[in-house]
Amino acid sequence: MENDTKTTTLKDGDLCFVIAGTHKGKWGAVRDINTSKTGHITITVEQGNSVKFKTLMKNVTAKS
């Protein structure tokens, strides 16, 4: 699994931008970071309008 250094340094509360997957183009604050049973890192992203969604860490980058 290839991860950009920006994606591996995200922590709770950081702003992130989704660059791939179902939620591509959306952005928000990281609210929860988990490792699934299969070993993939998942995060919950909360948008400014309080809508939350889950995505894979490999699909996001830090928003500057």
Q: Confidence class of residue 64 from pLDDT cuts 50, 70 and 90?
A: confident
**Average pLDDT estimate for 7-12:** 74
Q: Is 57 helix (H, G, I), strand (E, B) or coil?
A: helix
Give 4-41 as a DSSP string: -HHHHT--TT-EEEE-SSTTTT-EEEEEEEEE-TTS-E
Domain ranges of the chain: 5-62
- pLDDT for residue 6 is more than 60: no
5-62: which CATH topology?
Answer: SH3 type barrels. (2.30.30)
- pLDDT for residue 4 is more than 60: no
